Amino acid sequence: MQVISSKENEFIKHIKKLKDKKYRDINKEFIIEGIKLIKEAIEEKTKIKQIVICDNCQNTDVIPKDLMYEIAKYECVYVTENIFKTISDVNTPQGILAIVGRNTGEAEIDYTQDIIVALDDIQDPGNLGTILRTVDSIGLNQILVSKGTADSYNPKVVRSTMGAIFRVKIIECEDLEKTLREVKKHKFELVITSLQTENSIYDVDYNKKVIVIGNEANGVEQKIQDMADVKVKIPMLGKTESLNASVATGIVLYEYVRQKIN
């Protein structure tokens, strides 16, 4: 078994470059790291190109035997512990990561679902990852993201999704306003979260709705606000006027769930 021990190795350089968004976009690849994400990627039949394993971790049985059996079906590359530390993106690596190919198929919107979530320039990777995880938790298979939204394949976003990134189709919109106009043609109504309304999120029937979540600092862009069929806000009893974007998204989406199961 050959073990890579040089940081000058071209494959190692390739992994390091995948930390850069432009390079990820060019190669249509991203990195996942850790036992849980690798296991989920295998279960979801994600396009895994290579799995990188720290040779020391393999010897110390850090990676479960049943997972190692599944990993053996893929192209595996072994590296020294020191090299793995240079390519890892976490403080305490588990000694396993993988290069995954992005889905390059047609990013067509699924109009059969009750609701569609759209993000207008969400900036924080942690927020984006948590929103993707929440969208997955309520059974949605897609999300629309504006060009100005944080990169969905940023390592922090990928970790925050806890595997949801393998199940939720991320549709990147060059012009979110134009995309939303097209969605409205399919008899969806546009619901905007806004503080400038007396309508509550509990006043809306969440059927054939597009829910737009705005930028953490500035909210939803004015041009998109002007397109809204309904503006809603989350009722709050305390002095805080607004909530974290991912928290707000969760509250709105679980009102949809409440209506769905009642």
Per the listing, tokens 């850790």 go with 34
Residue 198 binned pLDDT confidence (cut-offs 50, 70, 90): confident
Given 101, 131, 152, which residue is the final one in a domain? 101
Instruction: Quote the pLDDT of residue 152.
Output: 95
Instruction: Quote the pLDDT of residue 196.
Output: 82
Domain count, the chain: 2
Q: 141 with 112: CB under 8 angstroms?
A: no
**Is 106 a member of any domain?**
no
pLDDT above 70 (res 241): yes
User: Are 60 and 134 members of one domain?
Assistant: no
**Is 107 a member of any domain?**
no
User: Are 245 and 121 members of one domain?
Assistant: yes
The per-residue pLDDT for range 27-75, each reduced to its tens digit, is 999 999 999 999 999 999 999 999 999 987 655 567 888 888 999 999 9
User: Are 79 and 160 members of one domain?
Assistant: no
Cα 130 from chain centre: 8
pTM: 0.91
Structure tokens at 36: 């849980």
Instruction: Quote the pLDDT of residue 240.
Output: 84
Q: 150 with 124: CB under 8 angstroms?
A: yes
**Is 152 a member of any domain?**
yes
Q: Which residues contact 96 (CB under 8 A, 6 or more apart)?
A: 33, 34, 35, 38, 51, 52, 53, 54, 57, 63, 71
Structure tokens at 215: 């930028």
Instruction: Quote the pLDDT of residue 63.
Output: 81
Residue 106 binned pLDDT confidence (cut-offs 50, 70, 90): low
**Is 181 a member of any domain?**
yes
Rounded alpha-carbon distances, angstroms, from residue 166 to 44, 85, 192, 196: 7, 25, 27, 36
